[in-house]
Structure 1
Amino acid sequence: MTVALSPTPVLETDRLVLRAPAARDWAHWRDFFLSARGQWIRPEGTPTEEAAWRGWAGVIGHWVLRGWGPFVITTQQSDRGLGLVGPWAPINWPEFEIAWSIWAPEHEGRGIMAEAARLARDHAFRILGWQTAVSYIDPENTRSVALARRLGATPDAAAPFPGTPPITVYRHPKPEDLA
């Protein structure tokens, strides 16, 4: 028996495909989560495979519980997961978030995440009907800060955030405000 999520959207650009997470993505997620690069998305404490498993189960479960969730980024040429991007709203999040993570450094610096994040953000606003979106970013995560700014997001000091400082809340513009 093969278990699958109910039909989920697939978003595409000329070079990227954004699809729902799948069991085949587990090893790439685990390796990212356990690496130093995963520090920005995992709970405090020593990274363990068990924590990675729970995190991945949460990503997949998000689609079941919300009916939408973050997409795995692949290319038109390969179904190998390169990262995760898109709508994210765990139960304790005060606002809907556009979240992202690129799983391996060799995929950085090619504009993949900016392209994927724009596509996922547009989907959240236009298809899911979001009225606002934020990204919660540790100020020391300079790559994510730069990406948020590249996407036109600006710090919103008045916005609430989950967890303890330091977190900067970046407010995303609506697609119509970018035209």
Structure 2
Amino acid sequence: MSGFPLPIPVIETENLILRGPRESDFEAFAEFGASDRAQFVGGPYPRIRSWGGFLATYGHWALRGYGMWMLEDRASGKTAGRVGMIFNDGWDEPELGWHVFNGFEGKGYAYEAALAARTHAARHQNLPRPISYIRPDNTRSIALAERLGAKLEREITFFDKPCHVYRHPLPEEAAA
């Protein structure tokens, strides 16, 4: 079986293919979820929770018409992370989120993928100025948000922890 036929767009960048999830992506997804690297997204968490989160990727696309893409490294074909727009129950508004999996950090993939996802969301999904929820101790994500032109908008408590809300610029502001 080739997978659930959701109309998830494919975006190709210089180094990546942003595409819908495949069952073969799950091992990399679960490895990330079980690692200390998942601390900023509610982890580490057990494999069964990873499975639920992985399946929620399809549900989000089906219900909202947008969601998270899996990142495929063009050179190796390996699953390199996730990026995209999410708007979970109880959240203020849609968020641009990203995770880069082990072995793919430091290559600029998060920037490349987030920029492509944000541009697509503005042009095709009526999501021109998303936010990113970032914990204040997640210095790498803060640096990425700022590199993307996002500005600290407010500080909140999110899942009982301090959180910064970064607002992304309109596409025409980002290009300036």
Query: C-alpha displacement at 1:162, in angstroms?
Result: 4.3
Alignment of 1:1-179 (within 5 A): 1-42=1-42, 47-104=45-102, 106-157=103-154, 162-179=158-175
Structure with a larger share of its residues in strand: 2
Letter of the structure 1 residue corresponding to residue 159 of structure 2 = G
Letter of the structure 1 residue corresponding to residue 137 of structure 2 = E
Question: After superposition, what is the alpha-carbon deviation per residue over 1:97-128, rounded to whole angstroms, capped at 9, x for unaligned?
Answer: 00000111x21111111011000000111111
Query: C-alpha displacement at 1:2, in angstroms?
Result: 4.0
Query: C-alpha displacement at 1:164, in angstroms?
Result: 2.5
TM-score by length of 2: 0.92
Take 1:132 and 1:115, find their aligned partners in 2: how far apart are those partners? 17
Query: C-alpha displacement at 1:83, in angstroms?
Result: 0.3
Take 1:161 and 1:59, find their aligned partners in 2: how far apart are those partners? 25
Query: C-alpha displacement at 1:8, in angstroms?
Result: 1.5
Q: How many residue pairs are counted as aligned between the two chains?
A: 175
Query: C-alpha displacement at 1:54, in angstroms?
Result: 1.5
Query: C-alpha displacement at 1:76, in angstroms?
Result: 2.4
Instruction: Classify 1:23/1:13 alpha carbon distance in 2 versus 1 (closer, same or farther; 3 Å).
Output: same
SS of residue paired to 1:107? coil
Query: C-alpha displacement at 1:75, in angstroms?
Result: 2.4
TM-score by length of 1: 0.90
Take 2:135 and 2:55, find their aligned partners in 1: how far apart are those partners? 23
**Is the contact made by 1:152 and 1:172 (CA closer than 8 Å) also made in structure 2?**
yes
Question: After superposition, what is the alpha-carbon deviation per residue over 1:117-141, rounded to whole angstroms, capped at 9, x for unaligned?
Answer: 0000001111111132000011111
| Alignment RMSD (CA, Å) | 1.7
**Is the contact made by 1:62 and 1:69 (CA closer than 8 Å) also made in structure 2?**
yes
Structure 2, unaligned runs of 5 or more:
none
| Deviating more after overlay: 91-100 vs 52-61 | 52-61
Instruction: Classify 1:41/1:9 alpha carbon distance in 2 versus 1 (closer, same or farther; 3 Å).
Output: same
SS of residue paired to 2:161? coil
Take 2:54 and 2:143, find their aligned partners in 1: how far apart are those partners? 26
Percent identity reads 38
Letter of the structure 1 residue corresponding to residue 153 of structure 2 = D
